[in-house]
Amino acid sequence: MERKTGWEIWDENKIKDAFSYAEEYKNFLSKNKTVRKFVKSVVLEAEKYGFKNLSEFKSLKKGDRFYKINKGREVILGVIGNKKLVEGCKFIVSHIDCPRIDLKTSPLYEDESIALFKTYYYGGIKKYQWLTIPLSIHGVIFLKDGTFKEIEIGENENEPVFTITDLLPHLAKEQMKKTIEEGFPGENLNVFVGTIPDKEKEKEKVKSNILKILKDFYGIEEDDFISSEIELVPAGKAKDSGLDKSLVLSYGQDDRVCAYTSFTSFLKNLELENNNFCLLVDQEEIGSRGTTSASSSFFEYFIEEVIEKSGYSITDLKKLFENSKAISADVNTLLDPNYKDAYEPKNTAKIGCGVVLTKITGGKGKGGSTEPVGEYIAYIRKIFDKNNVLWQPGEIGRLELGGGGTVASYFARYNIDTIDCGTGVLSMHAPFELTSKADIYSTFEAYSAFYKEE
Ligand code: MN
Ligand code: MN
């Protein structure tokens, strides 16, 4: 089926709406480059709409707006509608963690009179893409006395940035012969931190000077790194891309594009019949295993609390899940003209042609996929078409080349109808990912339709 882009179909006003929505989106991305910052900003925004911590409610009734934060790195927003809870809820779940470069437990060392940080890469990256670009440092250091220090260096004009070096091409004859995996070993991703020595010291003079700076500015010692969450991400703001400015180039669009579109559509649709929830989870890029990930029992306990405070019993939980609907809001691939061979064009989404509805994630013989029932896919199609949402079907790529997963399975396991639906992204997991403003806006419209419709 021939698909048309939003630019072809939409009138001038709608295109204007898509562009102005993208401005707010870029701004939010630029300001919230870590999971913790994203959670904080979402809660601040929700509070403007009257949302309060769930613990402040003794009981819940129609119209109540609440949130619950899990350890600063996950948040669920909810609003009670007219419908009985056991008749079902609407959930949109996205992840707010993104590929990045984390500091190792004992990161700081000196080599050849240079102070460096040893790092772990977080998530599935092509390591060479993260070399030689300006990086900023973001994070929190938790001290033994219960206090914490926040660090952000490299986002403002007058602040230094950081970088990981690469070998000059003149000497890369051996490196070029290796596979990409072997040519860029993870242990080489060491970040330059400084080169000025502390002349009063006998050895590790440069490292000592860096420790002095850390002590003076942040009050932290070398041992404090173990209880820190410090990461390096591409420095700078989200930008328009292309002469026509139709694209957004930014760090962290997987999956903050779906997180942003889901929580903004959630906040725009509060006066409704439905019991709506917006879930922003962590740790998807490393397999969803931790306390703040989609597999954590936090979600289940949150729903139990909502059920009890609404006057139902825990035994109603299964019924609630059975009657509920969920969107696993995560990005998908787009047909890339530079790498056509990797895709099966008939089943791959195209840039600008709208939000991507994905029946099958995974690879090979649907391995790892949660494949929703046909009835649910028909329901989603119906509400998208009814609300003039620009959407397209899409799968991740050619069979047997690889594949990918989302958090869908953690909701499907409760017998909640769950489908993958999100924005298409080019250069996924690269320091700077590329999206279309038409696709971002149609994702927002798709999630709005989902929250709105019966
Ligand atoms: Mn993702
Ligand atoms: Mn990802």
- DSSP line for 117-137: EEEEEESS--GGGGSSS-EEE
368 pLDDT above the threshold of 90: no
Residues 173 and 204 in one domain: yes
The residue from 234, 263, 297 where one domain ends is 234
DSSP assignment of 219-268, as one string?
A: ---GGGGGGEEEEEEE-S--EEESTT--EEEETTHHHHHHHHHHHHHHHH
Question: What's residue 364's pLDDT?
Answer: 74
Q: What is the mean pLDDT of residues 59-64?
A: 96
Q: Which is nearest to 297 in space by CA: 71, 78, 79?
A: 71
Question: What's residue 404's pLDDT?
Answer: 76
The residue from 183, 207, 234 where one domain ends is 234
Task: Please give the share of the chain, as a percent, with pLDDT higher than 90.
Answer: 91
Mean residue pLDDT of the chain comes to: 96
Residues 128 and 94 in one domain: no
Question: What's residue 16's pLDDT?
Answer: 98
Q: What pairs with residue 425 in β-bridges?
A: 333
Domain limits for position 181: 100-234
Q: How far is CA 144 from the centre of its chain?
A: 30
Task: Give me the CATH number covering residue 220.
Answer: 2.30.250.10
439 pLDDT above the threshold of 90: yes
Residues 440 and 396 in one domain: yes
74 pLDDT above the threshold of 90: yes
Q: Which amino acid is at 84?
A: K
Residues 387 and 406 in one domain: yes
Confirm whether 424 is domain-assigned.
yes
Ligand nearest to the CA of 124: 2
- 419 in Cβ contact with 357 (< 8 Å): yes
Ligand 1 midpoint to CA 253 (Å): 9
If one counts every other C-beta atom within 10 angstroms of the C-beta of residue 287, the result is: 11
Report the range of poorest mean pLDDT among 1-5, 227-231, 282-286, 313-317. 1-5
Which band of pLDDT confidence, cut at 50, 70 and 90, is reported for residue 396? confident
Q: What is the mean pLDDT of residues 176-181?
A: 94
Residues 418 and 433 in one domain: yes
Ligand nearest to the CA of 294: 1
Ligand 1 midpoint to CA 284 (Å): 7
Q: What is the mean pLDDT of residues 270-295?
A: 95
- 358 in Cβ contact with 334 (< 8 Å): no
Q: Which is nearest to 17 in space by CA: 452, 438, 448, 450?
A: 438
Ligand 2 midpoint to CA 175 (Å): 28
Question: What's residue 255's pLDDT?
Answer: 96
Which band of pLDDT confidence, cut at 50, 70 and 90, is reported for residue 366? confident
Residues 129 and 69 in one domain: no
Q: What is the pTM of this model?
A: 0.97
Confirm whether 240 is domain-assigned.
no
Residues 202 and 316 in one domain: no
Q: What is the total count of domains within the chain? A: 2
Structure token digits, residue 333: 């691939």
pLDDT digits (tens, 9 = 90+) for 247-262: 999 999 999 999 999 9
Ligand 1 midpoint to CA 285 (Å): 7
64 pLDDT above the threshold of 80: yes
239 pLDDT above the threshold of 90: yes
The residue from 234, 259, 294 where one domain ends is 234
402 pLDDT above the threshold of 80: no
Which band of pLDDT confidence, cut at 50, 70 and 90, is reported for residue 360? confident
Confirm whether 244 is domain-assigned.
no
18 pLDDT above the threshold of 80: yes
CA distance 263 to 67: 12
**Is the model more confident about 405 or about 73?**
73
Handedness of CA 51, 48, 17, 428 (dihedral sign): negative
Which band of pLDDT confidence, cut at 50, 70 and 90, is reported for residue 309? very high
Burial class of residue 187 in the structure, from the number of CB atoms within 10 Å of its CB (0-12 exposed, 13-18 middle, 19+ buried): exposed
Q: What is the mean pLDDT of residues 208-223?
A: 95
Please state the three-class secondary structure of 275-319 as a single string: CEEEEEECCHHHCCCCCCCCCCCHHHHHHHHHHHHCCCCHHHHHH
363 pLDDT above the threshold of 80: no
Confirm whether 241 is domain-assigned.
no
Task: Please give the share of the chain, as a percent, with pLDDT higher than 70.
Answer: 99
Confirm whether 274 is domain-assigned.
yes
Q: Which is nearest to 110 in space by CA: 195, 46, 235?
A: 195
- 126 in Cβ contact with 430 (< 8 Å): yes
Residues 154 and 11 in one domain: no
Ligand 1 midpoint to CA 133 (Å): 23
Q: What is the mean pLDDT of residues 49-77?
A: 98
Tell me the CA distances in angstroms from 401 to 51, 83, 178, 394, one per residue in order: 45, 45, 21, 16
Residues 20 and 121 in one domain: no
Contact partners, residue 354, CB within 8 Å, separation at least 6: 3, 6, 389, 390, 391, 392, 438, 439, 442, 446
Q: What is the mean pLDDT of residues 198-222?
A: 95
Ligand 2 midpoint to CA 97 (Å): 9
362 pLDDT above the threshold of 90: no
Buried b (16+ CB within 10 A) or exposed e, 129-140: bbeebebbbbbb
Which band of pLDDT confidence, cut at 50, 70 and 90, is reported for residue 77? very high
Ligand nearest to the CA of 429: 2
Residues 299 and 425 in one domain: yes
Task: Give me the CATH number covering residue 328.
Answer: 3.40.630.10
Q: How far is CA 259 from the centre of its chain?
A: 6
